[in-house]
Amino acid sequence: MPGKHTKLFKRIFHGDFRPADGMDYSRAYKRWMKENYEAHQRFRKTLKKGQLEAFDELEEMDIELSGRAQEENYIAGMKAGIQLMVEALR
């Protein structure tokens, strides 16, 4: 008989479990994101074509690095959570 978590296991396996899609960000976070976006747009308008291309490349690198950092932090958090569960069950 399948356990109650089987459905979640299957969603994770098939790539249908995306908690980030349902994130409810705080008003403060949304405000910071908006301010950051607007500041970037103002700055972009001050750049010449070559500078703009270089800035776009730098932004792409920052986005990639941020994503990788989030992934590594997620993995570290999961490991810590699992270790906590193991210790609690001893």
Q: Do the domain assignments include residue 64?
A: yes
User: 11 with 17: CB under 8 angstroms?
Assistant: yes
- The span from the CA of 30 to the CA of 38, in Å, is 12
Q: Do the domain assignments include residue 14?
A: no
Q: Do the domain assignments include residue 12?
A: no
Q: Do the domain assignments include residue 81?
A: yes
Q: Which two tokens stand for residue 78?
A: 């999961």
DSSP 35-78: HHHHHHHHHHHTS-HHHHHHHHHHHHHHHHHHHHHHHHHHHHHH
| pLDDT tens per residue across all 90 residues of the chain | 456 667 888 888 888 888 877 888 899 999 999 999 999 999 999 999 999 999 999 999 999 999 999 999 989 999 999 999 999 998
Q: How far is CA 63 from CA 3, 15, 67, in A?
A: 39, 22, 6
Q: Give the pLDDT score at 64.
A: 95
Q: Give the pLDDT score at 9.
A: 80
Q: Which residue range(s) make up the domain with 77?
A: 48-89
How many distinct structural domains can be found in the chain? Answer: 1
Q: Do the domain assignments include residue 63?
A: yes
Q: Do the domain assignments include residue 60?
A: yes
